[in-house]
Amino acid sequence: MIFIDRRFLLILLAGYIIFSGSCKKAKHIEPEPIVESNVLYNEFTEPLVLSQPGTKLLLDLDKDRKNDLAIRLTVLPENLMTTYFYVAEPLNGDVQLVATGLLDAYAFPSNAEIFEIIPPGSSKRWSGSNGILLEKYVYQSDIKRIGMFNGSRKLYLGIRIKKAQNFHYGWVEIRHDEHLDIDRIVISGTGLYKLSERAIKAGAV
């Protein structure tokens, strides 16, 4: 009688299982679908900078090859005082921005909801007029700055664009840099919700 080591049989069995498994056809795994963002996002690898009087930055928020918003700098000299206006300007009747008071643009913090304002008031409302981001007054050696975007490191201008009688809500990221009495408005990116009549978070992509 021939005795076979039980351990030897176990080794043979394990080898057979591994070999037969490797010979089976590999199972096809479907790739995960790519989830497309609902936000039209413009990221500027080189941020747009506004610092020179008489210049402006043009923004195509909905990527239709037509500019929707301008950020411009206007200088108004008056006797001994010079005033610098950094302004957001809607370029057509379908574009509105969130304003406060009569002329100032409203600044949203990161992740704040941008949507319909009910009821509109003097503190915050949608407007088709220009919105002042920053005012700078220079009187001899004195300098004064006012505006909700004054000194901002990352704040957002709320915007909306009407398409087919419905609004698409979005944002413009704005930073105010100040160095040696020189001011710069820096635009790092914009976002616009593809779906109409939906709120968007400031900075959401």
For residue 58, which phi and psi values (nearest 5 degrees)?
Answer: -110, 130
pTM, full prediction: 0.82
Q: Does 24 score more than 50 pLDDT?
A: no
Per domain, the residue ranges of the chain are 39-201
Average pLDDT of the residues in 148-160: 95
Choose between 75 and 36: higher pLDDT: 75
pLDDT for 154: 93
Band of pLDDT at residue 7, cut at 50, 70 and 90: low
Q: Which two tokens stand for residue 181?
A: 């009495």
Residue 175 backbone dihedrals phi, psi, to 5 degrees: -130, 140
Which pLDDT band holds residue 138 (cuts at 50, 70, 90)?
very high
Rounded average pLDDT over 54-69: 95
Cα atoms found within 13 Å of the Cα of residue 89, Cβ hemisphere only = 14
Rounded to the nearest integer, the mean pLDDT of the chain is 87
pLDDT at 2: 45
